[in-house]
Amino acid sequence: MSEAQAVRPAEVAPEAAEEDPPAGRLQRIARLQALQILLLLAVTVGIFSVLKPDTFPTVFNLRGIVQNTAILAVLGVGMTFVIITGGIDLSVGSVLVFSAVVADKTMAAYGGTGWGTALVGAVVACLAGLGWGLLNGVLVAKAKVPPLVVTLGSLSAALGFSQIITKGLDLRDAPRTLVDKIGFGNVVGQVPALAVVAGVVVVGGIVLLHRTRFGLYTYAVGSNAEAGRRAGVLVDRHLIKVYALAGTLAGFAGILNLAFFQSTTIGGHSNTPLNVIAGVAIGGTSLFGGVGSVFGTVIGLFIPIVLQNGFIQTNVQPFWQQVVVGAVLVTVVYIDQVRRAAALRGARPGLAALFRRRS
């Protein structure tokens, strides 16, 4: 026994020598990924600013871009949580519409055009979203139905209910205060109210995900649910909470949508879940769970919108926008995959790793 003890210090040393400097490799990757996406966005903005200096980098244009991303950002926060747990939520677009319909009906019955009515509508919308979120969560956590299937089902059901309630006709009863102050109002000078509201949600999401136990458990469940369970984490209950969060945010997005479009837009938002998921993926959140950030999602959502805006301004045919966004999504996720695999193998993370033959 004593010889073993004498040998110990020397044998520990080589182990220590292979270790990384303070930041782990995967953590460096995550930082690099967020930086990379931000860089991509900056480069895109830069190019279009150079091509169209009079019209692209203007306050009006930037306001428009931010307004159009605001509602997606609110959805993106919830979606980030869900995807980090390794799940997915395809129902956000339909839940948004359903919540808007329910809120509209309630506000019309309540009457009035002031803040009181708007608040009632907002509460009802969030509750409607919460309801669908809880349903999704229970089916995923307790009935063990795969999230893709569950949320595909609620996508159809929510939209169906919306059409039953409205008989297929869009409702347009948004109170004036909601539209003027939130949908199109400004908070300070030129800052759109919609953006501020979305911003608050985003900041809340960042704090919740990165600083609280709720966020930690979200990562834990996505990383290794069984480990969490054995450590005493109530995994099922946590999953239900995460889907409930996503649903509530979709409901909130519904009232914001009503404020902006003054209509329940039943026919719209069929592509919205996919656009949000694309934004989440571009932003560095892994679709396999365990890794992700709300900040990355927001940047990831900006990129397709900025691309569309820039293409319209430079007169590129509309269909090219779809092609480029698709290419960006696949490229970014591919690069991310390669880097992660390289990091876990112990290779140096760099762009040239893409072109090196896999050993």
Partner 1 sequence: MTPVLQARGISRSYGQVQALAGADFDVEAGEVVALIGDNGAGKSTLVRILSGAESADTGEVLFEGNPVQLATPSDARRLGMETVFQDLALAPHLSPVQNMYLGREVRRPGPLGWFGFMDTRAMRAGSREAFDRLGAPVRNLTGPIGSMSGGQRQAVAVARAAAWAKKVIFLDEPTAALGVAQTQNVLNLVRRVSAEGIGVVFISHSMPHVMEVADRIQVLRRGRRVATFRQQDTSMEQLVAAMTGALQWEAH
Partner 2 sequence: MNRRTAVGAGLAALALAVTAACGSDDNSSSSSSGGTSGSKSYKLAFIQGVAGDAFYITMQCGIEAEAKTQGATVTTQGAQKFDPTLQTPILQSVIATKPDAILIAPTDVSAMQQPIAQAKAQGIKIVLVDTTLNDPSVAVSAISSDNAAGGKAAFDAIKQLVPGGGKVLGVGVQPGISTTDARDKGFADAAKADSSFTYLGVQYSQNDPAKAASIVSAALQKDPDIVGVFASNLFSAEGAATGIRQAGKQDKVKVIGFDAGPDQIKALEDGTVQALIAQQPGTIGIDGVQQAIKALKGEATTTNIQTGFTIITKDNLDSTGKDATYKASC
Could you tell me how many residues of this chain bind partner 1 (CB under 8 A)? 40
Contact 76, 294 (CB under 8 A): yes
Alpha-carbon dihedral sign for residues 254, 256, 262, 265 = negative
Binder to partner 2 among 129, 183, 222, 292 (CB under 8 A)? 183
Is 51 among the residues that bind partner 2 (CB under 8 A)? yes
Q: Which residues contact 10 (CB under 8 A, 6 or more apart)?
A: none
Copy the structure tokens of residue 94. 């339909």
Give CA–CA dist 355/230, Å, rounded. 41
The answer to whether 61 contacts partner 2 (rule: CB under 8 A) is: yes
Neighbouring residues of 322: CB distance < 8 A, sequence distance ≥ 6 = none
Q: Does residue 68 belong to the site contacting partner 2 (CB under 8 A)?
A: yes
Q: How far is the CB of 241 from partner 2 (least distance, A)?
A: 29
60 interacts with, out of partner 1, partner 2, none, CB within 5 to 8 A per kind: partner 2
If the CB atoms of residues 235 and 325 are measured against partner 2, the closer one turns out to be 325
The CA distance from 243 to 328, in Å, is: 28
Q: How many CA atoms lie within 13 A of 151 on its CB side?
A: 27
Taking the least distance from each CB to partner 1, the nearer of 18 and 54 is 18
Min dist CB 234 to partner 2, Å, is 38
CA dist 82 and 250 (Å) reads 13
211 binds partner 1 per the rule CB under 8 A: yes
Residue 246, both tokens: 């996503």
Shortest gap between Cβ of 201 and partner 1 (angstroms)? 16
Q: Which residues bind partner 2 (CB under 8 A)?
A: 32, 35-36, 39-40, 43-44, 46-48, 51-52, 54-56, 58, 60-61, 64-65, 67-68, 168-170, 172, 179, 183-184, 257, 260-263, 265, 267-270, 305, 308-320, 322, 324, 350-352
